[in-house]
Amino acid sequence: MPETKTSKFPRHGWLGPALVLIFWWVNWGTIGLRSHWAFFPLWLGYILTVDGLAVRAGRESLVQRLRSFVWLFVLSAPVWWLFEVINWRVEYWMYLPEGAFTPLEFYFWSTVCFSTVIPAVFVTANFLSGFNWFQRHHFTLRAGKTAVGRAVYFATGCAMLVFVFVWPEYGMAFLWIALFFIFDPVNYWLKNLSILKMTSKGDWRIVWLLFSASLICGFFWELWNYYAW
């Protein structure tokens, strides 16, 4: 995430708060079914706002790299659907009101909503990366440095996923990290970008960034869902 010289607040950064205020009110202040169509513009507002703050703080804009930015939305939906498929078996969450949509409507609106997850996490991580704490090395354990270590990561992910299915009442925390433990070693073996390539060198900064960004997005996710319908 290279730095940029500009520090002006971009125009899309001003659009973001407007979308958040309008569709936050729609989600909380109106009656009837509305969250299925109001969710996307609400989170788009969050994404534009945080990206604007990142630019103002001297970071590179993800939004202005339009092609890559759009691909984040395209990739986000199928990634989240993986969690949904697992949830069909373990039933950790459900969507209300049940029966309000036809199956086609449900899958369409769900996919639209799920498309915002990765863009929101990535723009938040990009913003946080400008803070000094996230630029320093706080932890230098070289995880995944050896082939055996990477195989252990993969096996651990598989074991966690099995645990989720066999003992779902105890496995919800494993759901969110099992797929990472499975797919990140695969990325490494395929010579793609992977977090293990960084942690194997003792660089855990991306881990703290994504963890913190996910917590922040999770907070707003639950907040805005509280009165949603």
- Residue spans of the domains in the chain: they are 11-137+205-225, 147-199
The string of pLDDT tens digits covering residues 135-189 is 887 777 888 889 999 999 999 999 999 999 999 999 999 999 999 999 999 999 9
Percent of the chain topping pLDDT 70: 97
The string of pLDDT tens digits covering residues 52-73 is 999 999 999 999 999 999 999 9
* Average pLDDT taken over every residue of the chain: 92
Residue 7 banded pLDDT, cuts 50, 70, 90 = low
Which range, of 4-18, 33-47, 182-196, averages the lowest pLDDT? Answer: 4-18
Positive or negative, the CA dihedral 105, 108, 114, 116 is negative
